[in-house]
Chain A
Amino acid sequence: MEFNSLAFLAFFAVVYGVYLGLARHLRLQNAWLLVASLFFYGYWDYRFLVLILFTIGVSHFAARAVHASAAERTRRRWVAGAVVANLAVLGFFKYYDFFSESAAALLEAFGMRADPFTLQVVLPVGISFYTFQALSYVVDVKRGRVAPARSVTEAALFISFFPQLVAGPIERAQSLLPQITSPRKLGWNAVNEGLYLIFAGYFKKVVIADNLALTANHVFSEYQKLEGVDLLVGILAFTLQIYCDFSGYSDIARGLAKLMGFELMVNFRLPYFARTPSEFWQRWHISLSTWLRDYLYVPLGGNRGGAGKTYRNLLLTMLLGGLWHGAAYNFLLWGAYHGAILVAYRAVGQRVAWRPPPSGLLASAFGAGQIAVMFTLTIIGWVIFRAGSLEQIGAMLAGLDFGWAKGTGKRVNQLLMFGLPLFLVQAWQYERGDLLAAPKLPPWVVGPLYGCMLAGIVALATRKSFEFIYFQF
Chain B
Amino acid sequence: MFARARPTEELPAPARPARVALIVALTLLSFAVVNFAIGRALRHYTTNLGYYLIAYKWRLLLEQDEPASWLILGDSTCNQGVDPDVFDRSLRVSSLNLCTNASMQVLNDAWMLQEHVDRFGPPEGVVVIHTHDAWATNLGGGGGSIRRGPLAAGMAQIPLPWGFWERTAPGLDLSAEDERLVFLGRYAPVYAQNRTLRTWARNPTGAAARVRRRRFEANGFMPREASPGRARGDAGNHLKYVKRHRFRVAPWSRKALTAMEDLAKRHRFPLYIAHSPIVSTLEKQPAFRRYAHGMSEELERLTRGNEYVHYLDYWVTFPTKDMDQADHVSWKAAVKFTQELARSIQRTRPSEAKGRGRSK
A-B contact pairs, 17 of them (CB 8 A): A192-B13, A193-B10, A193-B12, A368-B2, A410-B205, A410-B206, A417-B201, A433-B6, A433-B11, A434-B10, A435-B9, A446-B23, A450-B30, A451-B33, A454-B31, A455-B31, A460-B198
Whether A436 is near chain B, meaning CB under 8 Å from some CB there, is yes
On whether the beta carbons of B27 and A447 are closer than 8 Å, the reply is yes
What B residues does A283 contact at CB under 8 A? 8
Whether A221 is near chain B, meaning CB under 8 Å from some CB there, is no
What A residues does B8 contact at CB under 8 A? 269-270, 273, 283, 429-430, 433-435
What A residues does B33 contact at CB under 8 A? 451
Interface residues of B in 35-87 (CB under 8 A from A): 35, 38
**Which of B19, B28, B38, B203 is the one whose CB lies under 8 Å from A413?**
B203
Instruction: Tell me the minimal C-beta distance from A57 to chain B in angstroms.
Output: 35
On whether the beta carbons of B29 and A447 are closer than 8 Å, the reply is yes
Residue picked from B6, B23, B24, most chain A C-beta under 10 Å: B23
Interface on B for A, CB 8 Å cutoff? 1-17, 19-20, 22-35, 38, 188, 190-191, 193-194, 197-198, 201-206
What B residues does A368 contact at CB under 8 A? 2
On whether the beta carbons of B1 and A430 are closer than 8 Å, the reply is yes
Interface stretch of the complex, out of A38-46, A317-325, A357-365: A357-365
Instruction: Tell me the minimal C-beta distance from A99 to chain B in angstroms.
Output: 39
On whether the beta carbons of A430 and B6 are closer than 8 Å, the reply is yes
What B residues does A92 contact at CB under 8 A? none
Cα of A188 to Cα of B13 in the assembled complex, Å: 9
Interface of A is mostly: helix
**Which of B15, B26, B201 is the one whose CB lies under 8 Å from A191?**
B15
Residue picked from B27, B33, B204, most chain A C-beta under 10 Å: B27
Whether A143 is near chain B, meaning CB under 8 Å from some CB there, is no
Interface residues of A in 407-465 (CB under 8 A from B): 409-410, 413-414, 417-418, 427, 429-431, 433-436, 439-440, 443-444, 446-448, 450-452, 454-455, 458-463
Instruction: Tell me the minimal C-beta distance from B28 to chain A in angstroms.
Output: 7
What A residues does B6 contact at CB under 8 A? 273, 430-431, 433
On whether the beta carbons of A436 and B12 are closer than 8 Å, the reply is yes
Cα of A300 to Cα of B3 in the assembled complex, Å: 36
On whether the beta carbons of B26 and A460 are closer than 8 Å, the reply is no
| Known interface pairs A192-B15, A269-B8, A430-B8; A450-B202 also in contact (CB < 8 Å) | no
| Known interface pairs A189-B15, A192-B15, A436-B12; A447-B30 also in contact (CB < 8 Å) | yes
What B residues does A249 contact at CB under 8 A? none
On whether the beta carbons of A459 and B13 are closer than 8 Å, the reply is no
Residue of A nearest to B206 (CB): A410
What B residues does A460 contact at CB under 8 A? 194, 197-198, 201
Cα of A460 to Cα of B7 in the assembled complex, Å: 33
| Known interface pairs A193-B12, A455-B35, A455-B38; A433-B203 also in contact (CB < 8 Å) | no
